[in-house]
Amino acid sequence: MTMFAKVQQKRGMTLWGSVGCLAAAFSIAAGATTLTTFPVGTLPEDIVAVPAGFGTQGGNYFVNNATVGFSAFGNVFTVPAAGGVASNFASPGFLQPIGGLFLPSNYAPLAGQYLVAGNTFTAPGQSNLGVINSSGVFTTLLQGIGGSQWADVIIAPPGFDSAGGMVLLANEGDGIYFVKPDLTYSILSGSLTGGIPFGLAFAPAGFGAVGGDLLISDAVSGNIYALTPTGGLRLFTTVPLAAGQFGLRQIAFDPPGSLYGGDLFVSVSGSNAGGGFGGSTEVLDGSGNVVAFLAQGTLGAPYDPRGMYFFDPNTLLIADAEASILSVPVSSFTPGRPVPEPASLALLGIGLAGLAFSRRRKLN
């Protein structure tokens, strides 16, 4: 199961949204299909496979919606495994959900419930964590922990620092936390990156020099950091950002058995909080090099990726903040690094003349 996330309090004008008449540089890869679409204002974040036995939802996907710009109450959508119409499964009160996962057995009596993490609607920038049971009932667990809101969540493997088998949460304000089964919590030593921690993924053994490390993406740059099991932090790589791209969101490893098996997939945001044209999903090898990409859509079909889930080693589900879930064969990714076409760059230069846009602090 692969997770990811993102956040922002007040949505400023995004670069690509402000120059929406510009022709985009790339086309979505051939073979991509739309699993489902969402209502206007939806910001799909994590995509989580629902295990068998979770009420009537087993086999479906849960998709967390923090809402564009955190401007409304969030919810958790349920999407049929074969695609089709999404429906609301749960409305977790003031919690606007970003990251999500199903709690393992060591979290009894909460084991098997759906953990959601994100922002507090009534207190922008404040973290909020809770669980949803199979009937869709939400219960708050922890609120106001850490320097800011939660982004991605993941389970640490055995032997990782003192947090093996426990829930890890990226806090946008002050690093990576782990929450124990008794709901006490601590921050992982060395995990404050200096940026805004967002996506989390454990590198498999043999993935360059960072195999076994926790990789952490930065929401306001192209940086990906590696945190060792003993608390050592270093920069793994920096993903080049194109014009209109704001930073990184969720990250996920392709399982072995495909063209990019064992490589790292990264969502590059085309906006602060949804509505961007120029996002991309990029594939990194163990040396941190971009080896393939799925870039922005054509005019009228923008692309602004967030969460990812590998249906199988050859098929990736991508949460697009435009807002839909795309099913993409990994063979449809274009080898190499994305490079804007000259005509698009010229249009961008024209569009930027005299352009003023505001920036805010938090992100989706």
What is the token pair recorded at 159? 């032997």
> Binning pLDDT at 50, 70 and 90, where does residue 271 land?
confident
pLDDT for residue 326: 94
Which domains does the chain possess? 15-352 (2.120.10.30)
Q: Is residue 266 within 8 Å of residue 251, measured between CB atoms? A: yes
The total of other beta-carbon atoms located within 10 Å of residue 216's CB is 30
DSSP letter at 50? P
Q: Which residues of 262-284 are buried (b: 16+ CB within 10 A; e: fewer)?
A: bbbbbbbbbbbbbbbbbbbbbbb
Closest C-alpha to 190, from 164, 239, 151, 226: 226
Average pLDDT value for residue range 225-236: 97
What is the token pair recorded at 304? 């602004």
- Alpha carbon 262 to chain centroid distance? 19
pLDDT for residue 181: 97
What is the token pair recorded at 82? 């074969």
DSSP letter at 137? -
Cα–Cα distance, 285 to 290 (Å, whole number): 7
- For the cut 60, the answer to whether the pLDDT of residue 3 exceeds it is no
Residues in the chain: 364
2 vs 282, residue with greater confidence:
282
Q: 295-305: per-residue pLDDT in tens? A: 755 434 678 89
Average pLDDT value for residue range 56-76: 95
363 vs 180, residue with greater confidence:
180
Closest C-alpha to 295, from 326, 254, 256: 326
Q: 315-328: per-residue pLDDT in tens? A: 999 999 889 999 99
Q: Is residue 349 within 8 Å of residue 1, measured between CB atoms? A: no
Average pLDDT value for residue range 68-84: 94
Half-sphere exposure for 363 (CA within 13 Å, toward CB): 32
Angle at 303 between CA 208 and CA 95, to 5 degrees: 85
- For the cut 60, the answer to whether the pLDDT of residue 350 exceeds it is no
| C-alpha gyration radius of the chain | 19
Cα–Cα distance, 68 to 207 (Å, whole number): 35
Cα–Cα distance, 299 to 283 (Å, whole number): 24
Cα–Cα distance, 116 to 124 (Å, whole number): 17
Q: 6-63: per-residue pLDDT in tens? A: 223 222 223 233 333 233 334 455 678 999 999 999 999 999 999 999 999 999 999 9
Closest C-alpha to 154, from 281, 250, 280: 250
- For the cut 90, the answer to whether the pLDDT of residue 360 exceeds it is no
Average pLDDT value for residue range 206-221: 97
Q: What is the pTM of this model?
A: 0.86
Angle at 318 between CA 340 and CA 325, to 5 degrees: 115
- For the cut 70, the answer to whether the pLDDT of residue 110 exceeds it is yes
